[in-house]
Amino acid sequence: MTPRHDNRAHDQHRPVEVLPGFHRLAEGSCLYRAGGTVVLCTASVADEVPPFLRDSGKGWVTAEYQMHPRISPGRREPRDGRGKAPSGRTQEIQRLVGRALRAAVDPAALGPRTITVDCDVLEADGGTRTASITGGFIALALALQKLHTKGAFEGRGPLRDQVAAISAGFLDGQALLDLDYREDSQARVDLNLVATAQDGVVEVQGTAEGEAIPRATLDQLVTLALGGVRSLCELQRRVLAEQGVRLADLGLNEGP
């Protein structure tokens, strides 16, 4: 196999560092670093729901996503500045993050409240959406723990799944996990996978550049990405356990 430029194995994700509780005012937060990509994730709780859920007794999880002006070597003018509508890319990513995190929560058990997970990309080197989902879950779980401590949930807690995300791609004839920007910009195929710790697939986003790919290549990339998600879920559990969070107390069956 051709060595990767950073000497990682083909099935190895970038080094991950998580600083939980980074934002002292949010109900849940973490600073999530995956290689050169850094995302601040905060989870905020409000005792209200969108109009379409009013009087349903159900809660809602949603997400916002934006990129800091200095994510690159030189400052760039924000596309989503004050008074401007979010760009199509921004809307697409924040909807993805929201869908991914809603897969982790039972809205009936959450009750009539909204949790908004804000993902602010401070530095970008590929994989900002997958980092937002993986770090966003940690912030979400910390917020749920705070609600649990206050006795907000009756019966079983609202957490039904653990969710993480990672990319995989096909470059120079090799399937590679967790592409950084240098690899992603040259990859023949780029795929983002959102999944649970038990290999349940939440969402797959994939594109072939230039020509179609065989089904076997797609299957290979999905299998590779599922292994990466399992590793990230293990990391999530370690980080949360160090913060005194027992996922079983929040409603999640004991993981692997």
Residue 154 confidence (pLDDT): 87
pTM above 0.85, yes or no: yes
3-class secondary-structure state, position 168 = strand
pLDDT band at 83 (very low <50, low <70, confident <90, very high): low
In the block, residue with structure tokens 């292994």: 227
CB 203 within 8 A of CB 37: no
Fold of the domain spanning 16-72+93-247: Ribosomal Protein S5; domain 2 (3.30.230)
- Residues 52-78: tens digit of each pLDDT: 999 999 999 999 999 988 877 778 776
* 237-256: average pLDDT: 89
Phi and psi dihedrals of 13, rounded to 5?
Answer: -85, 165
Residue 210 C-alpha from the chain's centroid: 28
Residue 72 confidence (pLDDT): 74
Report the C-alpha gap between 222 and 224 in whole angstroms.
Answer: 5
pLDDT band at 99 (very low <50, low <70, confident <90, very high): very high
Residue 179: count other Cβ atoms within 10 Å of its Cβ: 26
Q: At what angle do helices 128-149 and 88-102 cross, to 10 degrees?
A: 40
* 216-235: average pLDDT: 97
- Residues 188-213: tens digit of each pLDDT: 999 999 999 999 999 999 999 888 99
Q: Is the pLDDT of residue 256 over 60?
A: no
- 114-123/60-67 β-pairing: parallel
Phi and psi dihedrals of 219, rounded to 5?
Answer: -60, -40
* 35-50: average pLDDT: 97
- Residues 143-176: tens digit of each pLDDT: 999 999 999 998 889 999 999 999 999 998 899 9
